[in-house]
């Protein structure tokens, strides 16, 4: 992959001189010199996100020459206005990644998006996923029983990763190489969306290159004929997709299929472990499980941001944004907006936070959210029947550009 200006949007083209850059920056307010990709921010992001929300519905980040949209109301307005805040110029912060993934579902506009999405969501519909329930439950019961017998276990490696790596990789139907590397590729594809020159971005782009090479060269005969990947080529046979679109859609399935669910599960476990009263409330009120999961997704959004590019000048809640500007949709900040969620830094399973934007909003809302929540729900239903209480005895995060989750969460279990 080579560095070009393609995919960065028209804003790059207008910044031909330092003098012009100075004028452009001065004309955009409010501003902040915060670096939201710094280790400091990634380690403890939420005080910084509050600072951005307090500055305004959109804030110009002078270090990167982009807007950040941090409030709940402003991010929903922006994502609903998909014709103005387009993803067609890429959703990453660097041209290499934007150019490499040009053609995936997330970067499509209407009417192409609806045509592509109809094929993409076929295996992800709730009625289709119901067929998986018995198998997921049996696997979860067996794994939980094994882990509770140990007394201590890593809820990330031993449990959060279990169903996605056992089931989703099989459903997609990639060959052994694809199954082996999917988790690493997914993380790399997200890290590779960061700003130019950052170590995590550079490393992520190298990993992403492996994924692109594998998926672009995979032979149809290597795919499980009953898997989702093979179904894409069957759709191309039927004229629903082009064969190139089928290959791009393999990437749509591969990139977000694992990390988001794994992070969502481990964050739910983490929030319940840090709030043992909430675990006890959940045990007494198991019907609140869907709310407990959504509340964790709200507080610890697995994907913290994507970007959009403005197709025309736009007034976003009083902030004047210009055609060609790039804008970061910082959903992780919006999900803790005190203007929408009272006491947003408290985990409360009695709260109804189903309107969070952790899955995005508008036409590009995550199509795989039903599968992810099904996996998380299945494991917690088993845990609620077998686990009286637990305590966290070790935790570790690995800083990532666009994802937030735990790399390790060791718990000591007190079974029923």
Query: DSSP 3-state assignment of 98?
Result: helix
pLDDT of residue 67: 98
Task: Report percent pLDDT > 90 for the chain.
Answer: 84
Closest CA to 330 of 67, 47, 28, 29: 67
pLDDT of residue 311: 97
pLDDT of residue 397: 95
Model confidence band, residue 89 (pLDDT cutoffs 50, 70, 90): very high
pLDDT exceeds cutoff 60 at 19? no
C-alpha–C-alpha distance, residues 273 and 285, integer Å: 17
Higher pLDDT, residue 27 or 72: 72
- Compute CA distances 415 → 146, 167, 284, 297, whole Å: 12, 26, 16, 26
pLDDT exceeds cutoff 70 at 5? no
Residue 303 corresponds to which tokens in the numbers above? 């994907």
Average pLDDT over residues 289-317: 98
Model confidence band, residue 4 (pLDDT cutoffs 50, 70, 90): very low
pLDDT exceeds cutoff 90 at 236? yes
Q: Which of 36-50, 211-225, 399-413 has the lowest mean pLDDT?
A: 211-225
pLDDT exceeds cutoff 50 at 1? no
Average pLDDT over residues 321-339: 98
pLDDT exceeds cutoff 50 at 130? yes
pLDDT exceeds cutoff 70 at 184? yes
pLDDT exceeds cutoff 50 at 25? no
pLDDT of residue 14: 30
pLDDT of residue 408: 98
What pTM did the predictor assign?
Answer: 0.91
Q: Sheet harboring 326-329: ordered strands across?
A: 31-32, 59-61, 66-69, 326-329, 306-310, 85-86
Query: Mean pLDDT score of the chain, rounded to an integer?
Result: 92
Average pLDDT over residues 212-224: 92
* Percent composition of the chain: helix, strand, coil (DSSP 3-state, to 5): 55, 10, 35
pLDDT of residue 125: 87
Average pLDDT over residues 366-391: 96
pLDDT of residue 3: 36
Task: Report percent pLDDT > 70 for the chain.
Answer: 94
C-alpha–C-alpha distance, residues 218 and 238, integer Å: 20
What residue ranges define each of the domains in the chain, with the CATH number in brackets? 10-415 (1.10.630.10)
DSSP-assigned letter for residue 15 = -
**54-74 per-residue burial string, b: 16 or more CB within 10 A, e: under 16:** ebbbbbbbeebbbbbbbbbeb
Helix ranges (H only) for 123-221 are: 126-129, 133-150, 162-163, 169-172, 176-191, 199-217
pLDDT of residue 21: 40
Average pLDDT over residues 390-409: 97
pLDDT exceeds cutoff 60 at 73? yes
Alpha carbons within 13 angstroms on the beta-carbon side of residue 312 total: 6
The highest-confidence range among 107-111, 364-368, 379-383, by mean pLDDT, is: 379-383
pLDDT exceeds cutoff 50 at 18? no
Model confidence band, residue 10 (pLDDT cutoffs 50, 70, 90): very low
pLDDT exceeds cutoff 80 at 237? yes
pLDDT exceeds cutoff 60 at 13? no
Model confidence band, residue 20 (pLDDT cutoffs 50, 70, 90): very low
Asked if the peptide bond before residue 30 counts as cis, ω within 30 degrees of 0, the response is yes
pLDDT exceeds cutoff 60 at 291? yes
Model confidence band, residue 409 (pLDDT cutoffs 50, 70, 90): very high
Average pLDDT over residues 288-308: 98
pLDDT of residue 127: 84
Average pLDDT over residues 351-379: 95
pLDDT exceeds cutoff 90 at 6? no
Q: Which of 2-16, 26-40, 254-268, 310-324 has the lowest mean pLDDT?
A: 2-16
């Amino acid at each position: 992959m080579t560095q070009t200006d393609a995919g960065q949007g028209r804003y790059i083209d207008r910044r031909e001189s330092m003098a012009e850059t100075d004028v452009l920056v001065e004309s955009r307010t409010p501003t902040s010199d915060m670096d939201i990709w710094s280790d400091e921010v990634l380690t403890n992001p939420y005080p910084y996100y509050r600072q951005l929300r307090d500055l305004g519905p959109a804030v110009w980040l002078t270090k990167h020459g982009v807007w950040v949209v941090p409030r709940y109301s402003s991010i929903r307005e922006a994502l609903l206005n998909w014709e103005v805040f387009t993803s067609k110029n890429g959703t990453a912060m660097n041209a290499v990644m934007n150019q490499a993934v040009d053609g995936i579902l997330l970067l499509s506009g209407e009417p192409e998006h609806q045509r592509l999405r109809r094929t993409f969501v076929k295996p992800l519909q709730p009625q289709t996923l119901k067929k998986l329930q018995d198998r997921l439950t049996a696997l979860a019961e067996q794994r939980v029983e094994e882990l509770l017998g140990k007394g201590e276990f890593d809820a990330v490696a031993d449990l959060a990763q279990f169903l996605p790596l056992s089931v989703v990789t099989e459903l997609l139907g990639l060959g052994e190489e694809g199954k082996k590397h999917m988790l690493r590729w997914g993380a790399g594809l997200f890290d590779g969306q960061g700003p130019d020159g950052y170590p995590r971005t550079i490393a992520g782009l190298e990993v992403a290159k492996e994924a692109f090479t594998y998926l672009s060269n995979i032979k149809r005969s290597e795919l499980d004929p009953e898997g989702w990947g093979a179904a894409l080529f069957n759709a191309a046979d039927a004229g629903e997709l082009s064969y190139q679109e089928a290959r791009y859609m393999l990437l749509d399935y591969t990139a977000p299929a694992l990390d988001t669910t794994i992070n969502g599960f481990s964050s739910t476990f983490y929030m319940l472990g840090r709030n043992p009263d909430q675990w006890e409330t959940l045990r007494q009120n198991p019907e609140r499980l869907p709310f407990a999961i959504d509340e964790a997704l709200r507080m610890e959004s697995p994907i913290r941001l994507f970007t959009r590019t403005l197709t025309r000048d736009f007034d976003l809640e009083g902030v004047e944004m210009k055609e060609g500007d790039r804008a970061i949709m910082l959903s992780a900040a919006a999900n803790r907006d005190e203007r929408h969620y009272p006491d947003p830094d408290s985990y409360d399973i009695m709260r109804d936070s189903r309107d969070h934007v952790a899955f995005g909003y508008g036409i590009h809302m995550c199509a795989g959210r039903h599968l992810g929540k099904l996996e998380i729900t299945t494991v917690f239903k088993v845990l609620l029947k077998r686990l009286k209480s637990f305590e966290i005895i070790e935790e570790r995060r690995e800083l990532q550009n666009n994802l937030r989750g735990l790399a390790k969460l060791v718990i000591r279990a007190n079974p029923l």
